[in-house]
Structure 1
């Protein structure tokens, strides 16, 4: 992590180390099992997954901005927004990211980019209309803590196994449904080999999915904590969280579904009403958990701790 004035978080570091260690064990087990079953498939899947990983790692800023229809804005175009970002940069001693605005009524913000030099901080017009300057400062401090901790790069690398295993599972199932499970090749039962490949990949995907989602939830808590301590106003961040979550509940489900694929980047998750896998395996902790942490920080700051 680059040197900034964001408070160090030993919990974040330990959680990352433990999660990465567990992911490493899953990597080793998955690769060993997969190459023992079907080494040819492993090379193809690995090549595809590496290509996807590199694209996400090197072009995450451009891809996310393009998908969200974000547009970089100059200080002349958005003086108040740039003023808040400049103030946070001065407080955190961090380099200023590029600033962008996405024209959508969904109130949210996100930061992307593999490092501080490539970082982009984007807010929606819906967020700018709803938050006052103090609340906006808390939200942007939260997002800039993600940049300081290089969370985008960390999560991209952490999700590599899931991408690889997910591709193998999908292609294996499609091939199997087209008759691959019943094919025989000499003495080798190709159908059983394909089934074993799909099962191993599915298990690896499920485990890596749970681990990366757990890491994602904790990094959101860590970003809340870092922003609250940096600004000294945890109540402002709590107010922004409450306001954004309440406003998201009023957004049409169609717009929320369009935004859901980007939940991992967002300040608050955009969840459509009704049953959703995102509600069970969310990229973000529950609102109550985030507010409780901010209340504890507020109490400690009030006691001068």
Structure 2
């Protein structure tokens, strides 16, 4: 977060480092096992690296396209730009591009590999439901993601999961499941499938844990920047309550993008905390209440 006034977060830095270290160990072990069973993994690695590079360099364009967002000028959305201008001045960071998605889903997201390539997008649904201070709290949260370089970190963290997923499909689609090694040992494809599935599961859990802490860190940094944690808490309550009333069909369409959103699109059913991209509403509100008490507000 060098070069911004967002509150430093040593806990986030430690968790990012530990997660990357564990993913690195997992990656090395995965490659060693594949080589040991005689798999030529070069093609899979090249394909996975290609996915990673595309996601890294074009994440802003991909996200806007997928979520039907469009960039807007200050003339088109003066109030929204005004809030972003104020936050960028407070945080001492470059102004991100500003976009709006025409959706009743009350949400917001930020993407882009760094501060110079960032875009912050809000839906028409969230703009209609929140007042100016609540919207400022949400946008401060999203701009904290930009300052933390969360998109770049999560893209790199997801690399191993992409490799494992591709290896699983490779084993299934090429019919390796019934092929045995030269010593009439166990099927090579079965080994690849089981190892890849295990690696994917572990990397999935690690990246989800990092994602949950990333959201808490963004709440905390945004609240300290605006000095109004109660406004962010109010926005969370409003958005979470209104999302629960969105039709299930619409929620299912939005769920693949949960990792991007300010708050996840859920159908109201409980989701195991290990698999969630976001911490629970109660945990987020509890953290904001403690910040509010610390600030004397």
Which of 178, 181, 185 aligns to 2:177? It is 181
In structure 2, C-alpha distance between the alignment counterparts of 1:276 and 1:218, rounded to whole Å: 17
> For residue 69 of structure 2, what is the aligned residue in structure 1?
70
* 1:275–1:244 distance in 2 versus 1, CA, 3 Å: closer
In structure 1, C-alpha distance between the alignment counterparts of 2:186 and 2:255, rounded to whole Å: 36
Q: Residues 209 and 274 of structure 2 are in contact (CA less than 8 Å); yes or no, is this contact kept in structure 1? A: no
Q: Residues 180 and 187 of structure 2 are in contact (CA less than 8 Å); yes or no, is this contact kept in structure 1? A: no
Runs of 4+ aligned structure 1 residues displaced above 4 Å come to: 188-191, 273-277
User: Superposition pairs for residues 203-222 of structure 1, below 5 Å?
Assistant: 203-222=198-217
In structure 1, C-alpha distance between the alignment counterparts of 2:185 and 2:54, rounded to whole Å: 33
> For residue 99 of structure 2, what is the aligned residue in structure 1?
100
Q: How many residues align?
A: 297
Q: Residues 45 and 168 of structure 1 are in contact (CA less than 8 Å); yes or no, is this contact kept in structure 2? A: yes
Q: Structure 1: which 5+ runs fail to align?
A: none
> For residue 19 of structure 1, what is the aligned residue in structure 2?
19
Matched, 1:288 2:287: no
- Give the superposition deviation at 1:17: 1.1
State TM-score, norm by structure 1.
Answer: 0.93
In structure 2, C-alpha distance between the alignment counterparts of 1:290 and 1:229, rounded to whole Å: 14
* 1:190–1:58 distance in 2 versus 1, CA, 3 Å: farther
Q: Residues 2 and 149 of structure 1 are in contact (CA less than 8 Å); yes or no, is this contact kept in structure 2? A: no
In structure 2, C-alpha distance between the alignment counterparts of 1:38 and 1:72, rounded to whole Å: 49
- Give the superposition deviation at 1:280: 5.0
Q: What per-residue deviation string (whole Å, max 9, x for no partner) do you get for residues 34-68 of structure 1? A: 1211331x112111110110010000000010011
Q: Residues 216 and 279 of structure 2 are in contact (CA less than 8 Å); yes or no, is this contact kept in structure 1? A: yes
Q: Residues 111 and 146 of structure 2 are in contact (CA less than 8 Å); yes or no, is this contact kept in structure 1? A: yes
Across the aligned residues of Structure 1 and Structure 2, the Cα RMSD in angstroms comes to 1.6
